[in-house]
Amino acid sequence: MRHRLIPQEGVLKPNSRNFLIWALVLGGIFAGVHLLTRQENKLNENRIPYSQFVQSVRSGKVAEVRIQGPDIFGKTRRGENFVTYAPFSPTLIQDLLDNDVVIDVQPKEQEFSFWQFILPWLPILLLCSLIFYSMRQFQSNGSKAMGFGKSNAKKADDKRVKITFDDVAGVDEAKEELQEIVSFLKDPQKFQRLGGKIPKGLLLVGPPGTGKTLLAKAIAGESGVPFFSMAGSGFVEMFVGVGASRVRDLFGQAKKNSPCIIFIDEIDAVGRRRSTGFGNDEREQTLNQLLVEMDGFENSLTIIVIAATNRPDVLDHALLRPGRFDRRVVVPNPDIKGREKILAVHLKNVPLAPHVALEILARGTPGFSGADLANLVNEAALLAARNGKLAVSMKDLEEAKDKVMMGAERRSMVLTDESKKMTAYHEAGHAVVSFFTPGADPLHKATIIPRGEALGMVVSLPEGDQTSLTYESLIAGMTMSMGGRIAEEMIFGPTKITTGASSDIRSATNLARRMVMDWGMSERLGVQTCFVGDYYETKEFSEATSQIIDEEVRKLLDRCYKKAEAVLTEHRAQLDALANAMLERETLTGEEIRLVCEGKALPPFKLFKDESEDAPGLPNVVRDLPKPKRRRKSGEPKPENKGTAKPKRKKKDGEKK
């Protein structure tokens, strides 16, 4: 049975009450102004000219007068009141005495004006109104005035939290570390009987998008204890002392709800290394209070602090010592098996085609984080919906991967035939050099369709997850970068080279400089590191060493340039064939590039590929449309309506049921 709420009579809502108060205040102001104006109008009605007043005095009509400065208030012998303004006249008093007029002289009254009365009080009234309005705003927001020192940490609700460890994939080691924390909170005696103590703090370290915050949400869904979450930037404010007050309030709430978990996201915003000077800024005071609270837990309380950051190198050393953050959990980018599991998690609620192979998709996305894979799945779903499909096919996932890796296609961009030919030979130069250079990564795709800021690109993917780079692979990568400029110069001449190789030259130069300065791959410098600070403000080597670095970088670049030039000179036929194939098809896969470089024929090119071939068995919007009914010819008998059931087939002799 539904119950209807009946409003109580005689109870005003807060908005109505405020409106009534302001209405009464404004009404009182208008009433006062009206009263003063009315009195002044009444005086103006009884005012007479001074000449008429003099004639009335001399004719004996005036009985009495009251003189206040220049104003004269009088009364006639008939009882009528009047007012006049008299200039300074020495004979006026004598005329009044001669005509037996009663004279009353009083000092001049202070002139009263409404604005003279209200102007001195106006600033005070405005200030009181501002304070009153601010207090009302604080009360409406559920906080008190001066309550900005309170912590704004969010407490997770068990009914709302839907994320568990089943929703987290690709970080198995980190899950084991955090599942141990959850197990301790559920059954602490299991660890305490052997003298074990749970870590007071866990620091989640990893690149952006690897799932650090998602792991914290999974802890909130699995632990079953109060979970407080707050960003590191939420502690620091403009006023000194506010951050420390919020830290005290946060840990005060945690102590009341022990056992519980505190999660601080992006802790590097508040835990950055303190300066050596005698600073007294807000961030350092907040960090000091955080250090005190983390080291001052009572033994009987179970409060676990979990923090996440992608910059562990800038954190204060006192924050990382045992007793505060006892354990550091690394959350790296997933490997090929982890990427396959993450894709399975994100595709759990997405209708897929039968031919979708997650293993192939995971192998083609090295270096992708969990957030990148989630974005890839979302782009594929949007692309399938845009094309009117009922399920996501492998083609949609591949196109979404290319969009995430290389940018969106700019097919509306109009290029001349000369520009297309220049771009085709530039990208063909990269592809041919990469194919015939030992140690280079396998080619994935080459295209002359503008994507992002590039007019074309060649993408090569490693066969597996790379944990380190070899000298051979680094030289092969720089050699591939030189292929585009050399192809332009060989085909169109040195005066026709373009600025399209700027990013290639920049990446090759940076790679060569790191080989010399960071990785000890220089013959003259040997195994040493040459540190350079930000913007080259500080460097730990001499000018002579700096000159040697420049010479070694130049030596590496010249070596790779000559090597790429030799490859393209030897395989000029493959360069022309690959450029022509790209002009015809615009995009070539890694397998098609291999066929061209090996001198084999490409399969027939279909300008418009049938979607049903790409996704067999999928419900297609065009394919599944009902066929049009055949129109009956004249004289043809009307078919009988036998329903949609198929006619029964007669059983043959000896056929089993």
Q: Which residues are catalytic?
A: 427
Give how far the C-alpha of residue 100 lies from the chain's centroid of Cα atoms, to the nearest Å: 94
407, two tokens = 């940018």
C-alpha closest to that of 583 among 482, 491, 495: 491
CA gap 206, 199 in Å, rounded: 20
Please answer whether residues 469 and 486 qualify as being in contact, where contact means their C-beta atoms are separated by less than 8 angstroms: no
CA gap 555, 553 in Å, rounded: 5
**Residue carrying structure tokens 């790209």:** 582
User: Hey, how many other C-beta atoms are within 10 angstroms of the C-beta on 244?
Assistant: 21
| Residues in contact with 379: Cβ distance below 8 Å, sequence separation at least 6, in sequence order | 400, 403, 404
| Residues in contact with 169: Cβ distance below 8 Å, sequence separation at least 6, in sequence order | 334, 338, 341, 342, 344, 345
Adjacent-strand bridge partners of 305: 201, 262
User: Hey, how many other C-beta atoms are within 10 angstroms of the C-beta on 487?
Assistant: 30
Burial class (CB within 10 angstroms; exposed 0-12, middle 13-18, buried 19+) of 626: exposed
CA gap 486, 483 in Å, rounded: 5
User: Hey, how many other C-beta atoms are within 10 angstroms of the C-beta on 222?
Assistant: 20
Cα angle 102, 105, 111 (rounded to 5 degrees) comes to: 135
C-alpha closest to that of 75 among 59, 88, 57: 57
Specify the DSSP element, H or E, that contains 103: strand 102-106
Please answer whether residues 448 and 424 qualify as being in contact, where contact means their C-beta atoms are separated by less than 8 angstroms: yes
CA gap 379, 388 in Å, rounded: 14
DSSP 205-273: E--TTSSHHHHHHHHHHHH-S-EEEEEGGGT--SSTTHHHHHHHHHHHHHHHT-SEEEEEESGGGTSBP
Cα angle 183, 187, 193 (rounded to 5 degrees) comes to: 110
